[in-house]
Structure 1
Amino acid sequence: MPPVPSHHHHEHHFQSTETVRDIVIGLSDGLTVPFALAAGLSGALSNAHLVVLAGLAEIAAGSIAMGLGGYLAARGDAEHYASELRREQDEVVTRPEDEAEEIYEIFARYGVSRPAATPVLEALQQNPTAYVDFMMRFELGLEEPAANRAHLSAATIAASYIAGGIIPLLPYMLLSDNAAALRLSVVITLLALAIFGAIKGRLLGTGTLRSALQTTLIGGAAAAAAYALARLLNHA
């Protein structure tokens, strides 16, 4: 009788949630802020070329500001992790009893008794690096950031902002009638939000249709509010 082939279960988990978060931040702002600016200016300026220039200037400034914000946030996360890592490394050596109690408390939250957790604690104590990593993850809930996380976050947010910002400006680049350009800009901006939301939902496993509707509604509401404010300031 031939041997029964073994089947291995392979789990597929999406691992790039931080990158998706950066894309969401950059693209959503890029779609809404330049749209609102262009829409507000289109009611005050008859020259579509000026609207495009103002929109491009805003995209340049916005992408730099957003990218810098992403860089500083990621640097802050890395510095916080490094600080907590040094503290945990010191406590494992200078306060072993307290750290052992914290291990028991962590396992108790998962319903694991002290006798059952003791072999794991003893194994961790034989491997200080793994011990510290365990405490960082399960006591503090911290994951070590990638070495180039700050630069990658800045580049991703800035590029996403530029990509998003160009979309609502395209009608003003192609049409000379500001009113027609505004109507087309509304349509393609909402369409872009829906497509982006669907892709995000598929990647994160949150439901394609649900994510598309959510992103469109939230992004559309933000764009409408920004547009109303821009028009209000133009007529002030």
Structure 2
Amino acid sequence: MTLLAGNAAKQTPPSAGAVSASSVRAEPHESSQTAKLNWLRAGVLGANDGIVSTALVLLSLIAAGASQGTVVTAGSAAILAGAISMALGEYVSVSTQRDTERALIAQEAASLRRFPEEEHRELVESLADYGIPEDIAEQAARGIEANDPLSAHLRLELGIDGEELTNPWAAAWSSAISFLMGALLPMIAALVFLTSGGAVAVVATTLVSLALTGLVSAKLSDTHSGKAAVRLVIGGSLGLAASYGIGLLFGAAVS
């Protein structure tokens, strides 16, 4: 009995430690999935910006009675300007984020060299925050620190994956392309139906597109899809009404 009890006692910590390590290893996968979802959401938002901003410009011009050449020129300029603006803004924003991440990585590496015991205690506390008993968290922390302590500290304490830093060029291209894809929808509608019902075509295309992007966004966020679509449609409708009214006023003033 004593021998069996001793063997059981010896086997229990490694088993619990293995569960703890498995929990820790699952964290990078979750971070990777979150990053992918964030990129998808950014793409949906970029498409929304392209749909709304281009539709408002086109609807104002149509309401003002602009010629087909004017609509094409102004619409194309709006699309190009919006895509470039989105790309530059995303590039600057993500570059700043990456610089911050690099600074945090350098700071954490320096802390591990200068204050190993303090950093060890922080790692144990981070693991304990997941509900792991402290004695098992202590074992897991020792095992982690024997392999790659920097990566573990970055992920658990700062939520950073040192091997997957944000890429400003990828963000810029993604933002610009998603904006262009969204902007082309009302632009095509305006060009096809400009001579007969251009305003109606732009409005219908815009609202349908916003409803679809609302459904996609809700699906990615795992929220109520109907509410997301309704919010976008209502917001888009208000913007379209305002832009059409401005176009009518401008056209009347010019006339």
Distance in 2 between the 1:220 and 1:141 partners? 39
Which of 124, 130, 135 is the equivalent residue of 1:104? 124
How much does 1:51 deviate? 1.4
Aligned counterpart, 2:193: 175
Aligned equivalent of 1:199: 216
Structure that is richer in helix per residue: 2
**Structure 2 counterpart of 1:154, which letter?**
A
User: Deviation of residue 133 (structure 1)?
Assistant: 1.3
Quote the offset at 1:20 in angstroms. Answer: 0.8
CA displacement at 1:54 relative to structure 2: 0.1
Structure 1 Cα separation of the partners of residues 241 and 151 of structure 2? 45
Paired residue for 2:207?
190
1:151 is the counterpart of 2:169: yes
Select which of 37, 41, 48 maps to 1:17: 37
Mean alpha-carbon deviation: is it higher for 134-143 or for 103-112?
103-112
**3-state DSSP of counterpart to 1:139:** helix
Alpha-carbon distance change, 138 to 216 in structure 1, aligned in 2, over 3 angstroms: farther
Structure 1 unaligned spans of 5+: 1-11
Partner of 1:224: 240
Letter in 1 for 2:125: E
Aligned length: 221
Q: Percent identity?
A: 26
Would the aligned equivalents of 2:105 and 2:162 in 1 still touch at CA under 8 Å? no
> 1:84 maps to what in 2?
104
User: Over residues 148-172 of structure 1, what are the superposed CA-to-partner deviations in whole Å (9 max), with x where a residue is unaligned?
Assistant: 7222211111111111112112232
With 142-151 and 24-33 compared, the bigger mean Cα shift is at: 142-151
Normalising by structure 1, we get a TM-score of: 0.80
What is the CA-CA distance between 1:57 and the residue it aligns to?
0.5
The amino acid of 1:25's aligned partner reads L
**RMSD over aligned Cα, in angstroms?**
2.9
- What is the aligned counterpart of 1:46 among 63, 66, 70? 66
Quote the residue 2:160 is aligned against: 142
Correspondence for 1:67: 87
Q: Determine helix, strand or coil for the equivalent of 2:158.
A: coil
Instruction: Tell me the secondary structure at the aligned position of residue 170 of structure 1.
Output: helix
What CA distance in whole angstroms lies between the structure 2 residues aligned with 1:175 and 1:122? 68
Instruction: For residue 107 of structure 2, give the secondary structure of its aligned residue in structure 1.
Output: helix
Match among 32, 36, 55 for residue 35 of structure 1: 55
Moved more, 59-68 or 141-150: 141-150
Separation in 1 of the partners of 2:184 and 2:69?
A: 14
Task: Give, in whole Å, the separation in 2 of the partners of 1:104 and 1:156.
Answer: 39
1:219 and 1:115 map into 2 onto residues whose CA distance is 56
Residue equivalent to 1:117:
137
Structure of larger gyration radius: 2
Does the 8 A contact of 1:48 with 1:172 survive in 2? Answer: no
